[in-house]
């Protein structure tokens, strides 16, 4: 289990075709908020957040989002590019293979995903 797998899984578990904001500041701050929650702290222990900027930027989260965009696993197909959308294949792959990426943590990743989606979804 590595940082990227956890971050990818969190996004994938938003659900097939679900939309969420493209505002990176909002995404970073939402991840930071969850990383500070004692229930989820263990999954985020290797992800670093800047505290010297106006928001809690994470290079690891930015890299994951960029990789998902470049591989077209998330897209911004709306005319004003304010929402990303989860591709069906991305959701299905993580849904079907979650045990390989985060053994024994599937339900926790799904719970984090639900919490993050409530902060950055539509």
Taking the whole predicted model, whether its pTM rises above 0.95 is answered as: no
Residue 3 phi, psi dihedral angles, 5° rounding: -55, -45
Rounded Cα–Cα distance for residues 9 and 7 (Å): 5
Tokens representing 84 are: 């990303």
Contact criterion met (CB below 8 Å) for 101 and 9? yes
Which one-letter DSSP state was computed for residue 41? G
Mean pLDDT by 10 residues, the chain (122 residues): 88 95 94 92 87 86 94 85 91 90 88 96 86
- The string of pLDDT tens digits covering residues 33-64 is 999 999 998 888 889 999 877 889 999 999 99
The maximal CA–CA distance of the chain, rounded, in angstroms, is 40
Rounded Cα–Cα distance for residues 99 and 97 (Å): 6
Contact criterion met (CB below 8 Å) for 61 and 28? yes
Sign, Cα dihedral of 46, 41, 19, 81: negative
């Amino acid at each position: 289990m590595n940082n990227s797998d956890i971050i990818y899984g969190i996004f994938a578990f938003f659900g097939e075709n679900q939309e969420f904001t493209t505002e990176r500041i909002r995404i970073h701050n939402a991840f930071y908020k969850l990383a500070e929650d004692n229930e989820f702290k263990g999954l985020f222990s290797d992800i670093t957040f800047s505290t010297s900027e106006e928001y809690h930027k994470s290079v690891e989260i930015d890299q994951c989002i960029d990789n998902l965009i470049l591989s077209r696993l998330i897209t911004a197909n709306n005319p004003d590019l304010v929402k990303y959308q989860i591709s069906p294949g991305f959701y299905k792959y993580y849904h079907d293979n979650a045990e390989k990426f985060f053994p024994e943590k599937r339900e926790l990743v799904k719970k984090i995903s639900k919490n993050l989606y409530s902060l950055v979804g539509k």
